[in-house]
Structure 1
Amino acid sequence: MAARPRVVIVGGGFAGLWAARALASAPVEIVLVDRGNHHLFQPLLYQVATAGLSAPDIAAPLRHILRSQRNVEVRMATVTAIDAAGKRIALEDGATLGFDFLLLASGATHAYFGHEQWAQHAPGLKTLDDALDLRRKLLLAFERAEAASDPAERAAWLSFAIVGGGPTGVELAGTLAEIARHTLKDEFRNIDPASARVRLVEAGPRVLATFPQALSEQAQRQLEKLGVEVSLGTPVSDINADGYTLGDAFVPAKTVVWAAGVAASKLGAMPGVPLDRAGRVQVRPDLGVPGYPHIFVAGDLAALAQADGRPVPGVAPAAKQMGRYVAQVIRARLAGQAPPPPFAYRDYGNLATIGRMAAVVDLGRLRFSGLPAWWFWLLMHVFFLIGFRNRLVVLLNWWWAYWSYQRGARIILGNGRDPSAPE
């Protein structure tokens, strides 16, 4: 392997993993570098945050996934710097890795639009650690409300706000309303969990803005039917430990969740590389970095316009397609063949679930909502999970939740301390 060209892939998400797999039979040495040891099925991350699933249900160790692929080495490490001209990356432990080809697929993080101080009061949801911390925060809110003697304090603990009306925000709001009205029923003595106020705050004119208008309106009706209060057209102007400010009105709330924006990983900020406003690398049509033909970017870190001028969306199908495409480009170069045509994203549709038996599906010409959409959403997500065990466990968990309204991962860890609270 030492004499083979080395492909270094930074990030074990959809783009990185699918690129590594597509290079399985290529005459290359692959080093897959990731800060964690697992691949995460991010579309179901909110299910971990809301106690519907456990962390291992939607994640699998990278070494296990790639155990049969002999040309891959997995390195659990954090990349701190990239020497593009010298073809080396630096790791946090002081080690360096040389490469012949580099794929940056390190994803995105939360964006607070210049208000980074909000992060400690309004956590986001991008990693398993985020999900576990958020789950603890959500469940603790009901415990704190149960123990509170002051009515105003109790009301603040039972006030939940999700900022951002995209798929993550909609899914979180709908599921949280279901937990409050059904899962926790009859479990408390001093509070009625169903009295909890769940508000979804979207600065734009509608939720699920990437969906057609009719499905967006249907999603809002389904949310309101579940008991979610939908606030549109007014952005949050401040967030602190006691609540948030919407327009000119302060709303007491002990639990605020951020689902409003993302920013690209800082690894894309190499000298001389063009970035968009979100920090994503403006790649060439072959997903290469301008000025560095041996470096590629895929997934949420890449900014590329489609033929109609719209950007390639930051979704799992796009990341998978990008990863496979980069592998095709590398294979063609190694074989001395003509490069493949420019990358073209194939949009297979958008899905979003709102809650129990409620979802919206946009497949282009075919659009539907309600119970059929919910079943379609469920089947598609189970199908795309990695590993038979994960598919089986998720199906069993969902089946049990469907009939019982119970959520099996409601254990509060960490001595009952809110991880976002100040020390």
Structure 2
Amino acid sequence: MRLSTLALCVATLSGTFAPAVFANTPDAAKLTANVEQKVIEWRRDLHQHPELSNREFRTSKVIAQHLESLGLEVQTGVAHTGVVAILKGAKPGPLIGIRADMDALPVTEVVDLPFASKATDTYRGQTVGVMHACGHDTHVAMLMGVAENLVNAKDSLAGDVMFIFQPAEEGAPAGEEGGAELMLKEGLFAKRKPEQVFGMHVTSSLPTGVIGLRSGPAMASEDSFTITVKGRQTHGSRPWGGVDPIVASAQIINSVQTIISRQVDVTKAPAVVSFGAINGGIRSNIIPDEVELIGTIRTFDQDMRADIKVKLAEIAELSAKTLGATATTEIDAGYPVTVNNPELVAKMRPVIRSVVGEDNLIEPGLITGAEDFSYYALETPGLFYFLGVTPAGKDPATVASNHSPAFYVDESALKVGVQTMTQLALTALSAK
């Protein structure tokens, strides 16, 4: 997950989980109880051996070996290191997809665990620590458990399941393609498109076992931009002898703020344009030739997203021009808005509630972080939810967040994730 603060509403955990009761479907709770310890062991192994985006070689091998042991049709090397497996149910019916992301982050772990990561790798030319600081190790382990559950229940399935183990959710290395977009580009859904696709993400912003599910737009789109402002170098004591790109940059930064405050309908959906870096100049008495501005755009509406991009480039160009400078804008298109299909959410919300109970299913606020699960949900109805992993006695509002070197997962939450996803699949493929 490309992260910003997860502004999630927090509910009180009751401490027990209501059993799921659906006619003509296997008991997801019993299935999950049989794999719970395996899931924890897989998670610890993966946590101790994290791998960066598009480099998940060991991870994919662990996944493939398990799926093959279950007798599934397994394809490896998808979008570099992705793994895809198909489970055929006993009866004809739709195909559904379930996705887990695999990659870790260039973060040095500080959590004192017997299975803490000591791994290092090279990132942008530097040696860095590597850590599952966003919980993708748990996602992989839980989906491995769900796969085993559904194989054990396949005689009751009216339809098939596509298990998608996806690399590079955190973004492919510079100069490479990756993630959900590349999996789809390589034909993931070409032969047969799932009728529904499901995904889950752990978060420290919720107590252990609490589920956050929102209908409609749930997570923002993400686009990064670079504005190059060119002037003409001159001595700082003679500013009239050149064109000052620093002043022009200041004008651009101030004017861009009016896009959100004055030019888009924020009653339709919120949006954010933020500058994260300003690079230019080296001495107090030299006005440089060039300044670079770097920032991000976050929106919850695809049309608004496109409009903001146009306005950003226009404002940069015209603001610079009034001061005799030039400005060119390059936008690196990131992830689309993650939209949960309202009809699918309405159908499946009671299913999740049956597992966690009324008090432990909440509707979170909009999240300005981004997720490339959004690409799947553009192709077919999608449902993406959050699983709380902050243990009792800890305040989710103050604990280390996802992407922190101190990010911590309460492993007792994993059974909730496995059971909810298993029940969703059993319900989607029930004979009824």
Settle same-fold status: TM greater than 0.5. Answer: no
Task: Name which one, 1 or 2, has greater alpha-carbon Rg.
Answer: 2
Task: Give the TM-score normalised by the residue count of structure 2.
Answer: 0.29
* Bigger RCO (CA 8 Å, 6+ sep): 2
Task: Give the TM-score normalised by the residue count of structure 1.
Answer: 0.29
